[in-house]
Amino acid sequence: MSKNLQVLFYGLRIALVGLLAGCAAQIERPRSLDATAIVLVEHGPLNRCGDVAETSCRSAADCPKGPCVSALPTDAGAFGRDGGHTVQIGDRVLWQFGDTFAVAGMLSATAAWSDTADPLALRDAVAATGRPVQFLPFTAGELAYNEAHANPPPCCAADAKCPSDEPYCNCPANTDCTTRIALWPGDGAATGSGGATIYYDRQIVGVAPYDFAGAGIGVATVRAGAPTATRMLTDSGEPVLLFAADEPHFARGMQVDDPDGSFFYLYANTNRVGCSVDVLLARVPLEHMSERAHFRFWTGSQWSATLADARPIARSIPGALGSVSWNEHLQAYLSVWSDICTGGQVLALRSAPAPQGPWSEAVAVDLTPLGAQPDAYYGMAHPEFGRGREIVVTYFQPLDLVYGQMRLLRLTLP
């Protein structure tokens, strides 16, 4: 571990033996994971330059929009950005973020680069003006759509007393309350020399909170250190969608070297009821990640070229599997995830002997002692630098409408 990384993680060591007992007692714990043995080390609070700050960053009052803007440092003035998917390309690490709020305005997708020797020393992808760039560039059609929907009808925002399943009840029927197309990052893998193939989630965003409608899964390539990715487009300039809006959204996964070749495995949620989802599994040869014809779907016993043959590898689990990677210490695949639906201050860990399972029941790790609130989300692991007993985890903690922190934790397994 580099000196900078050691400094970053220097802070309060919180043993969760007693704090987790009540929560852990309510769930079935797999033998390989035990919440009472997990130890978390809080990150050192950072200022904009990435130096260790003198004061903790636990609330908006403690962290004004000046010096302490993010747990992950940014040199582009971003004071709110979520996501944080990482891909290692040689000795470089690509960090992909979703909606990014900066002094210059909001961007749908941004990125930063670091080195494997010091993976948390991020250098944002910025334009000559110093502002963040749109890492996944919009097409002409998407720009036109966003411009046309920039000012939705006023009734769209008048959602007082509207039920959650009808957030625009103050509007006449068929009112269009969408505001924009968003491009949110997924996972990817290094493919070829000095480059990677990455997936992204195309969404239609409405005015009401959490009004998101999936609009397909796209694919892009990126060269190590490049400020922007290259999206795959049709001859007419439209995005190539590997999965349509009405299909499962396979965008999160990992590289697996099987006996019959190197593949990228992807997970997708389906059949959502409340916070519970079924999980489907697909895989594609690493050299064909951008070609739908090469995807195969797990049927429960074998791989099929037909999506309709896919059967869930996990049924009715809260939230999702989230980030999945092979963990050398456990000698098992490890899933780490948290979201608002299941309580953002609870990190759920599951393990499995194979990508298709069987997946264990969740071990619930309570992040409340570290300052996480119920509205925290996007808790995920970063296997590019932490495959053993200690793994690196990030989550996003909102602090007001557009201001928040991507907080960083080290989680030590039993």
| Whole-structure pTM value | 0.84
pLDDT of 15 reads 25
Of 281, 301, 318, the residue at which a domain comes to its end is: 318
311 and 372 belong to one structural domain: no
**pLDDT band with cut points at 50, 70 and 90 for residue 75:** low
**Does residue 94 fall inside a structural domain?**
no
Decide if 339 contacts 346 (C-beta within 8 A): no
Residue of higher predicted confidence among 48 and 349: 349
284 and 327 belong to one structural domain: no
pLDDT of 1 reads 40
**Does residue 87 fall inside a structural domain?**
no
336 and 307 belong to one structural domain: no
358 and 374 belong to one structural domain: yes
**pLDDT band with cut points at 50, 70 and 90 for residue 32:** low
Q: Which domain holds residue 388?
A: 1-68+322-414
| Residue 68 pLDDT greater than 90, yes or no | no
Of 318, 347, 367, the residue at which a domain comes to its end is: 318
Percent of the chain beyond pLDDT 90?
Answer: 50
**pLDDT band with cut points at 50, 70 and 90 for residue 373:** confident
**Does residue 143 fall inside a structural domain?**
no
**pLDDT band with cut points at 50, 70 and 90 for residue 9:** very low
| Residue 18 pLDDT greater than 70, yes or no | no
Q: Which of 148, 136, 149 has the alpha carbon at shortest distance from 239?
A: 136
**Does residue 191 fall inside a structural domain?**
no
pLDDT of 88 reads 93
Residue of higher predicted confidence among 120 and 357: 357
| Residue 46 pLDDT greater than 50, yes or no | no
Which of 1-10, 48-57, 346-355 shows the lowest per-residue confidence on average (mean pLDDT)?
1-10
338 and 387 belong to one structural domain: yes
**Does residue 56 fall inside a structural domain?**
yes
**Does residue 211 fall inside a structural domain?**
no
Q: Which residues pair with 223 in a beta bridge?
A: 195
Percent of the chain beyond pLDDT 70?
Answer: 80
404 and 327 belong to one structural domain: yes
Tally of domains within the chain: 2
279 and 303 belong to one structural domain: yes
Highest mean pLDDT: which of 256-260, 268-272, 280-284?
280-284
What is the CA 362 to chain-centroid distance, rounded? 19
Of 270, 294, 318, the residue at which a domain comes to its end is: 318
Q: What's the pLDDT tens digit per position in 293-306?
A: 999 999 999 999 99
pLDDT of 14 reads 25
Which of 219-223, 289-293, 351-355, 410-414 shows the lowest per-residue confidence on average (mean pLDDT)?
410-414
Q: What is the 3-state secondary structure (H, E, C) of the chain?
A: CCHHHHHHHCCCEEECCCCCHHHHCCCCCCCCCCHHHCEEEECCCECCCCCECCCCCCCCCCCCCCCCCCCCCCCCCEEEEEEEEEEEECCEEEEEEEEEEECCEEECCEEEEEECCEEEEEEECECCCCCECCCCCCCHHHHHHHHHCCCCCHHHHCCCCCCCCCCCCCCCCCCCCEEEEEEEEEEEEECCCCEEEEEEEEEEEECCCCCEEEEEEEEEEEECCCCCCEECECCCCCECEEECCCCCCCCEEEEEEECCEEEEEEEEEEEEECCEEEEEEEEEEHHHCCCHHHCEEECCCCEECCHHHCCCCEEEEECCCCEEEEECCCCEEEEEEECCCCCCCEEEEEEECCCCCCCCCCEEEECHHHCCCCCCEEEEECHHHCCCCEEEEEEEEECCCCCEEEEEEEEECC
**pLDDT band with cut points at 50, 70 and 90 for residue 270:** very high
Q: What's the pLDDT tens digit per position in 193-206?
A: 799 999 999 999 99
At 182, give phi and psi (nearest 5°).
-115, 150
Q: What's the pLDDT tens digit per position in 321-358?
A: 889 999 988 899 999 999 888 888 899 999 999 999 99
What average pLDDT does this structure show over 353-379? Answer: 88
266 and 333 belong to one structural domain: no
Q: What's the pLDDT tens digit per position in 147-178?
A: 999 999 999 998 878 888 889 999 998 999 99
| Residue 244 pLDDT greater than 60, yes or no | yes
pLDDT of 47 reads 38
